[in-house]
């Protein structure tokens, strides 16, 4: 048996592959974790009584991590209410109660926990990745392709960023790393034509997943946003159920702006989820809670580094545990 085929069988046996690595999450979220966890520890250690000053300090910590003024105050009120039922009110109890409060924010914001494309009913399953310049789209497409390949799926990447000359080369390198195929045309070609060819090839070759990379665009530029609507229409013409997912990639270190971007992109395409990247580079990972709460869009993945393995499946309770320490 060919080595490649053996590998494929091995990967298929693994079944539903989730890229969740607790150590990676921990190191990737270290900055936010220390901004929240270590500072809470400082705020409560040695305090005989948890008075208003302590709660005020806790609220400040949450605000500094970018959870927003309103949400932070709501969390602290919830923590206070929950603490009433705790017989021992020490540092450990504070963490437990906070973990509880933060997890429920995510749970109440979206029902998804486990993102898994429905390959059975939709083949090929089509994912389009959109976002402003430099958000991390191309990198995310490469990492996502790797995740699907690891799950034993066949993947084609469509290089619909025909705007920048270097974009093709960058995506091609990612396709090689992830061991998947790619469809590309010269720079300046109509992005929709690349999309058409990619989806057509996926149908002909019975490929499981298509991931389309698109050019970065300012969400305030109408003509560029129209181009995305056109891509969506072209896909639908070939497959009436598609695209299955349109993911907006947002840079986690840009804070509130992510929410504005999501609102603007939603006007041109039907966003189905958000991928928050570069959480490793920021101490303000609390933005994830604000984003989840305000947009109520699923978060299939988060980016916690530049490596191929650094696109981690998002899991509500694991995310909170990683930030608040009981992991
Ligand atoms: N630290 C870190 N860097 C990331 C992450 N995701 C992407 N990057 C980096 O962000 C930079 C921009 O990433 P790209 O993938 O090129 O972004 P893009 O959205 O495709 O950019 P345009 O196509 O120019 O709009 C690169 O240097 C990536 O390595 C992440 O999760 N963590
Ligand atoms: Mg790109």
Q: Let me know if the fold of 23-109 is the same as that of 125-314.
A: no
**Domain map of the chain by residue range?**
23-109, 125-314
* CA-303 nearest atom, ligand 1: 31
Helix 91-109 and helix 69-83, axial crossing angle in degrees, nearest 10: 120
Whether the bond into 124 is cis, omega within 30 of 0: yes
Cβ–ligand 1 distance for 216 under 6 Å, the answer yes
Rounded Cα distance, 160 and 130, in Å? 10
Per residue of the chain (327 residues), give pLDDT as tens. Answer: 455 555 544 444 444 567 888 888 999 999 999 998 888 888 888 777 788 999 999 999 999 999 999 999 999 999 999 988 888 778 888 889 999 999 999 998 875 556 888 988 999 999 999 999 999 999 999 999 999 999 999 999 999 999 888 999 999 999 999 999 999 998 899 999 999 999 999 999 999 999 999 999 887 777 888 999 999 999 999 999 999 999 999 999 987 788 899 999 998 999 999 999 999 999 999 999 999 898 888 999 999 999 999 999 999 989 999 998 765
In this structure, how many other beta carbons lie within 10 angstroms of the beta carbon of residue 9?
11
C-beta of 136 in contact with ligand 1 (< 6 A)? yes
306 CB near ligand 1 (under 6 Å): yes
User: What is the spatial distance between Cα 54 and Cα 48, in angstroms, rounded to a whole number?
Assistant: 11
The reply to whether the predicted model has a pTM over 0.75 is yes
| Helix/strand/coil for 295 | helix
Architecture of domain 125-314: 3-Layer(aba) Sandwich (3.40)
Please tell me if the CB atom of residue 253 comes closer than 6 angstroms to any atom of ligand 1: no
Q: At what angle do helices 91-109 and 287-295 cross, to 10 degrees?
A: 30
- If one counts every other C-beta atom within 10 angstroms of the C-beta of residue 232, the result is 19
For domain 23-109, give the CATH number: 1.20.120.140
> Using CA positions, which residue lies closest to atom 30 of ligand 1?
278
- Return all residues near 3 (Cβ < 8 A) that are at least 6 apart: none
């Amino acid at each position: 048996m060919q080595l490649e085929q053996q590998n494929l069988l091995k990967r298929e046996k693994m079944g539903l592959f989730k890229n969740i690595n607790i150590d990676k999450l921990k190191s990737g979220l270290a900055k936010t974790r220390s901004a929240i966890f270590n500072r809470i520890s400082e705020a409560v250690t040695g305090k005989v009584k948890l008075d208003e000053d302590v709660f005020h300090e806790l609220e400040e910590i949450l605000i500094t991590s970018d959870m927003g003024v309103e949400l932070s105050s709501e969390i602290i009120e919830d923590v206070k209410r929950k603490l009433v039922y705790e017989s021992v009110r020490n540092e450990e109890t504070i963490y437990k109660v906070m973990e509880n409060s933060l997890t429920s924010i995510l749970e109440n914001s979206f029902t998804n926990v486990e993102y898994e494309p429905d390959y059975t009913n939709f083949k090929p399953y089509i994912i389009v990745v959109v976002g402003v310049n430099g958000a991390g789209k191309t990198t995310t497409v490469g990492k996502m392709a790797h995740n699907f390949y690891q799950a034993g799926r066949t993947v084609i990447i469509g290089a619909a960023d025909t705007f920048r000359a270097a974009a093709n080369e960058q995506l091609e390198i990612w396709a090689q790393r992830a061991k998947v195929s790619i469809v590309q045309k010269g720079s300046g070609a109509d992005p929709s034509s690349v999309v058409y060819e990619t989806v057509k090839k996926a149908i002909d070759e019975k490929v499981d997943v298509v991931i389309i990379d698109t050019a970065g665009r300012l969400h305030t530029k109408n003509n560029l946003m129209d181009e995305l609507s056109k891509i969506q229409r072209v896909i639908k013409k070939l497959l009436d159920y598609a695209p299955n997912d349109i993911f907006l990639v947002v840079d986690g270190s840009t804070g509130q702006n992510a929410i504005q971007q999501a609102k603007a992109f939603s006007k041109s395409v039907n966003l189905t989820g958000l991928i928050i990247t570069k959480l490793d580079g920021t101490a303000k990972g609390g933005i994830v809670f604000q984003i989840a709460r305000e947009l109520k869009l699923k978060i299939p993945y988060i980016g916690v580094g530049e490596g191929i393995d650094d696109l981690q499946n998002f899991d509500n309770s694991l995310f909170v545990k990683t930030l608040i320490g009981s992991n």
